[in-house]
Amino acid sequence: MEPSRRIDVISDAICPWCWIGKTNLDAALALLGPAAAGFSVHWRPFQLNPDMPPEGVERAAYRAQKFGSVTRGAELDANVAEAGRKVGIEFRHDRMLRTPNTVNVHRLLQWSGSQSTGSQSTGSQSTGLGQHEMAEALFRAYFHDGKDIGDLAMLADVAATLGLDAAAFLASDELAEEVLAEDAYFRKIGISGVPSFALDGRVLFSGAYPAEHIAAALTRQAA
């Protein structure tokens, strides 16, 4: 079956709930069985921290400032880690040392959609070529492996794990304007939190809803 319905996932690679949301989306599409082949999944850019310096910042100090204390930041990390365990993913906040600027992360994710990774599907659903695999690799690199995904060499290494040579692309500024324009567009239409999920251009909901909720929403809207 050729995909006829487009799912856009508006996301940022440093959003822990976006990794949980992706995991739940994968499970939702698995619940749909053969019907999942009628959907294609595409990843769209949103910056949680649009004013982040290009080099990023030290994570512990940043979160202490953002949430009022190191203790409060640790409590929030524990909450998201518990949510991750429930869906089978492991957050290793102890390994995470920096909070990066994500413009280059989004550039890589968008570029990967035009590349072939040798696998163009996850489960039974069609995807935006390598985007779905790249999204998973970026989430895992940051949240599990503690990699600084704001670093161009590190991003090239992530791409290489999928068989992609992204070094020359990352050294350019290709797609930077497009990423910033999309980020601005989503803010303009009122999106303030991620993950947000849209079907055929219409935003359905924001948040890392359970797989059953996502499957039901897709079934209802696609009917």
Residue-wise pLDDT tens for the chain (223 aa)?
A: 566 899 999 999 999 999 999 999 999 999 999 999 999 999 999 999 999 999 999 999 999 999 999 999 999 999 999 999 999 999 999 999 999 999 999 999 999 998 864 433 333 333 445 899 999 999 999 999 999 999 999 999 999 999 999 999 999 999 999 999 999 999 999 999 999 999 999 999 999 999 999 999 999 987 7
Closest CA to 103 of 51, 145, 64, 146: 51
> Nearest-CA neighbor of 213 among 14, 31, 17?
31
- Structural domains for the chain: 5-51+102-222 (3.40.30.10)
Distance between CA 205 and CA 212 in Å, rounded? 14
Please tell me the predicted confidence (pLDDT) of residue 192.
92
Judge contact between 13 and 135, C-beta under 8 A. Answer: yes
pLDDT value at position 120?
A: 36
| pLDDT of res. 121 | 36
Rg (CA), the chain: 17
The pLDDT value recorded for residue 1 is: 56
- Within its chain, how far is the Cα of 94 from the centroid? 21
Residue 96: how many CB atoms within 10 A of its CB?
20
Print the SS3 string covering the chain.
CCCCEEEEEEECCCCHHHHHHHHHHHHHHHHHHHHHHHEEEEEEECCCCCCCCCCCEEHHHHHHHHHCCHHHHHHHHHHHHHHHHHCCCCCCHHHCCEECCCHHHHHHHHHHCCCCCCCCEECCEEECCCHHHHHHHHHHHHHHCCCCCCCHHHHHHHHHCCCCCCHHHHHCCCCHHHHHHHHHHHHHCCCCCCCEEEECCEEEEECCCCHHHHHHHHHHHHC
What is the model's pLDDT at position 123?
Answer: 36
Give the separation between CA 112 and CA 136, rounded to whole angstroms: 12
Tell me which residue has tokens 């790249």: 134
**At 216, which amino acid appears?**
A
Q: Given this model, what pLDDT does residue 124 score?
A: 33
Could you tell me how many residues make up the chain?
Answer: 223
pLDDT score of 157: 98
